[in-house]
Amino acid sequence: MERRTFLTGLIAAGVAQAKMTGPIPMGLNTYCLRSLRWNDAQHLDYCASQKLDAIFLQDSLDPKKDVPTHWKWVRDRAKELGLHLQTGGSGVMPRSPEEFENSVRTMRRNIERAAAMGSPLMRVVLASERASFPPGPVEQHMETAVKLFRAVRTQAMDANVKIAVEVHKDLLAWQHKTVIETAGKEFVGTYLDTGNPVFTMEDPYEVVETLGPYALTLHLRDSVVFNHPDGIAVQWVPLGEGTVDFPKIVARAREICKPLHIFIKPITGRPPHIHRIYDDAYWSTWRDVKARDFSRFLALAKKGRPYEGHVVIEDLYQRPIPPHFLAAVQYQQREHMERSIAYARKTLGLGVRS
């Protein structure tokens, strides 16, 4: 056999291995139901009632969330209900060099918790948004992230738990990819979220294209993206009701992602965010955006329009829901979740049990 033929065969075999065939197991992300204030048991039972295959336990509100005996209970209950479980922590970027070791200790604790719950991964977020990074250039924060991950490499690999870095509102897709490859693909991968790229002025499909091969888990969240007098507006909406082409995204994920679970993650009830692209000062934060990527985001905005569905705008970031709006937001979060699950089943063909 010629060397070229042999290598071509290896490449083809690798591509075939990466493809997902047959029904893709589906779950939900519990963060989307946070206003209900459910404990872990209630979330597990709800997922089972919806005939889902999995649960992503994110930012648990359970009063026992830090108790090791509770971790074992969650693992056993998920297994009893036939649910694949994934979980993790939240932000890990230290605000100063003195806080680095605290971040390492937090990650170690979260790896221990994930392993005890039977999760194959441990979710991390670098920063809630780019403005939340400590002072310094983005490259510096990327280096800090790599250093953090390498500090817990042995523990993660011994526990058979991979670090899943969420696609958030901080790094661009190519920067996210660089962090993973530099830290080590053998224990670090992507928590691929389709809702956050619109906040970094990226087309979610292109982010899936870039990071799909590194994905450990895929979370679907829809957005409307549309032109605004001050720039470009983005807003999260129920799955299938926005500008993003999810049949195209899922089809591409089947081709380039290794077998994984897809989680439904509608976060709604928040006002539009405006990218003030006509203001020169705005670009001081986004000097690393590539022209090609931005042009695709512009094309996405050109075909979008404001959301015309009924929505209660009272789920404001880091602000409590006013008591007189709480019942409406609770109803909305559950109804939008179930609407999104129905779309995922009917239009995207997701789910094994269903």
Q: From CA 226, how far away is CA 89, in angstroms rounded?
A: 33
Predicted structure pTM score: 0.94
d(C-alpha 37, C-alpha 29), whole Å: 14
- Residue 318's pLDDT band, with cuts at 50, 70 and 90, is confident
Contact assessment for residue 199 and residue 273, using Cβ atoms and an 8 Å cutoff:
yes
225 pLDDT exceeds 90? yes
Domain locations in the chain?
A: 24-221+241-267+333-346
Percent of the chain with pLDDT over 70: 95
Region class of 29: left (phi > 0), else alpha (psi between -120 and 50), else beta:
beta
Of the pLDDT bands very low, low, confident and very high (cuts 50, 70, 90), residue 279 is: very high
Q: Write down the architecture of domain 24-221+241-267+333-346 according to CATH.
A: Alpha-Beta Barrel (3.20)
Task: Compute CA 27 distance to the chain's CA centroid, rounded to the nearest angstrom.
Answer: 13
169-192 tens-digit pLDDT: 999 999 999 999 999 999 999 999
pLDDT at 61 exceeding the cut of 70: yes
Kindly indicate the confidence band of residue 11, based on its pLDDT and cuts at 50, 70 and 90: very low
- Helices 204-211 & 173-183, crossing angle to 10 degrees? 20
Residue 115 pLDDT exceeds 60:
yes
